[in-house]
Amino acid sequence: MTDTKTPTSAQETKHFAALDLGSNSFHLLVARSVGGQLQPILKFKQPVQLGLGLNGRYLSEAVIERGIEALKLCATRLEGFDKEAVKVVATHTLRKAKNRKQFLQAAAKVLPYPIEVISGREEARLIYLGVAETSADLGAQLVIDIGGGSSEFAIGLDKHPQFLSSRSVGSLVCSEQFFDGGKITQKRFEKAVVHVRQQVEPVANYLVKHPVKTVFGTSGTIKAIYQWVVNRAGQQPRGLTLEHLYRCRDELIAVKNVNNLPAEVVSEERRQSIAGGVAVLTGIFEELGIERLLAHDAALREGVLYELAQEVLSHKDVRERTISSLAHRYSVDTPQAERVWATAYQLYSAAANAWGIDSHDMELLLEGAAKLHEVGLSISASGVQKHSDYILSNAYMPGFNADEQRFLATLVRFFRKKIRLEEFPEFVLFEQSQLMKLIFILRLAVVINSDRQDRKLLKDIGVTGSQVSLKLTKAARLDPVLTAQLVDEARLFEKFGYQLTFS
């Protein structure tokens, strides 16, 4: 924020904000960093129930309008924040919605911060981070988050997640599927629980071999159920048990319809999803063999906030670790990758301002492409660019949102051979013209290093508008293979309105 940097004990205070666009509610969390610690100073929640408007995988006009109105209120509370200090993430409903671009385009008109649609596994990782950063080290632990559209599971040791999974069972979805109209019967409840157990079986299989000491539950659904138990018991139990859930189930069945639940049992905003929430948590308890679950205040937004603050204050980007990890996993030729990246960075530095691609994200995506463009060699040298695209499209990449992963995969897809514009995906956070410019840079970097030797071949670069001129060393000019490749690239550049010359 432009007006919040005030000195505190010779240190600077900086504000950060995380906005979580969930299937049930939108949650905004603002915190300030003081002495290396984050202090929450604002929590703002808007019940939107985005998941209820997902009809046939398309968001209804009504729910889009409801979401945009909620974003307007959030935007008011974010006025003055620097873009680097705000991160907005969207989860299950926007992952599934086929018309999410319509929502995101409307959102961009009222919220001046990009919305990142994250994968289920990335959501689980960030939830685990939020819990781990706000808890003492408790050894092996399982973190469960029940959202409106999906439930996330993270199993790890202290602050290190080792298993991440997102299952398509959430409180809103389950309520719609098994308790339509709010009707509750024992048979409906049993069917819902069986369905949940089937969905979470992979998590149970992992837990058999990796037992945990502590189970934490996050999200509004779990908190609502816990408060229900507290209100009925008149005291706070040490966590939720299966017996508690069975009592909630029996009370739901007894009232026959969620609309008949007393107001002190569940708030109005939770009424439509509470039956599904109890069924989901019951199925999870039964399938995973959980004895006791501790409700935890931290969730996705805390994880997003902690990671954002770390990146800004410590200049550590989790995406860089992901790139290194993938390069190691697929045994990438590191010296060659570094040669390509050094040349790509040289080209990028010359073109960034002229081409309007001067940003940390553009640079990092180019670096990722330079260092990972040959991961496909682990499958086959023939069609390596297609194999690299496949791997990067389907790998779990911590820190990368859906748009960034698609962008990176497409970038390596065209580091050689023909460029097919019809195969370019649509992006929300990027322009296809940005992708094309980075493809040009990557292709040149690969060509210039095609001999896979440590030779200085590029002396200088000039970029003016759509014109790129390369000044080669004498060794490069005398290399007939390299000059022939550059001639081919010049022809390709020309097809797309760019001019490449070299001397």
Convert the pLDDT of each residue in 178-191 to its tens digit. Answer: 999 999 999 999 99
User: 7-118+302-311, what's its fold?
Assistant: Nucleotidyltransferase; domain 5 (3.30.420)
For 317-454, CATH number out of 3.40.50.2300, 1.10.3210.10, 3.30.310.50, 3.90.1150.10 equals 1.10.3210.10
CB neighbourhood size of 297 (10 A) = 11
Q: Is 157 helix (H, G, I), strand (E, B) or coil?
A: strand
Nearest to 123 by CA among 301, 278, 273, 336: 301
* Domain spans of the chain, in order of start: 7-118+302-311, 135-296, 317-454
Q: What Å distances lie between residue 163 and 114, 117, 327, 396, CA to CA? A: 28, 21, 21, 12
Nearest to 367 by CA among 384, 349, 381: 349
Which tokens hold the place of 501? 């010359």
What does residue 105 show for φ and ψ, rounded to 5 degrees? -70, -40
Q: Is 279 helix (H, G, I), strand (E, B) or coil?
A: helix
Band (pLDDT 50/70/90 cuts) for residue 13 is low
Q: What is the pTM of this model?
A: 0.85
Which tokens hold the place of 258? 């969620």
What does residue 336 show for φ and ψ, rounded to 5 degrees? -70, -40
Residue 10 in this model has a pLDDT that exceeds 50 = no
Summarize the confidence of residues 59-77 as an average pLDDT.
95
**Equal fold, 135-296 vs 317-454:** no
CB neighbourhood size of 396 (10 A) = 14
pLDDT at 12: 57
Give me the percent of the chain exceeding a pLDDT of 70.
97
DSSP H or E stretch at residue 243: helix 242-255
Q: Which residues contact 454 (CB under 8 A, 6 or more apart)?
A: 335, 339
Give me the percent of the chain exceeding a pLDDT of 90.
81
Q: Which residues contact 78 (CB under 8 A, 6 or more apart)?
A: 17, 19, 28, 86, 111, 113
pLDDT at 49: 86
Measured CA to CA, the distance from residue 236 to residue 233 in angstroms comes to 7
Residue 9 or 72, more confident:
72
DSSP designation for 52 = G
Band (pLDDT 50/70/90 cuts) for residue 137 is low
Q: Is 100 helix (H, G, I), strand (E, B) or coil?
A: helix
Contact (Cβ atoms closer than 8 angstroms) between residue 477 and residue 447? no
Q: Is 265 helix (H, G, I), strand (E, B) or coil?
A: coil
Nearest to 431 by CA among 482, 356, 366, 369: 356
pLDDT at 232: 79
CATH assignment, 135-296: 3.30.420.150
Q: Is 465 helix (H, G, I), strand (E, B) or coil?
A: coil
Residue 6 in this model has a pLDDT that exceeds 50 = no
Band (pLDDT 50/70/90 cuts) for residue 158 is confident
The pairing of beta strand 86-90 with beta strand 115-117: parallel
DSSP H or E stretch at residue 25: strand 25-34
Q: Is 262 helix (H, G, I), strand (E, B) or coil?
A: coil
Q: What Å distances lie between residue 303 and 45, 105, 399, CA to CA? A: 17, 26, 12
Summarize the confidence of residues 97-120 as an average pLDDT.
94
Contact (Cβ atoms closer than 8 angstroms) between residue 116 and residue 406? no
Contact (Cβ atoms closer than 8 angstroms) between residue 156 and residue 141? yes
Residue 233 in this model has a pLDDT that exceeds 60 = yes
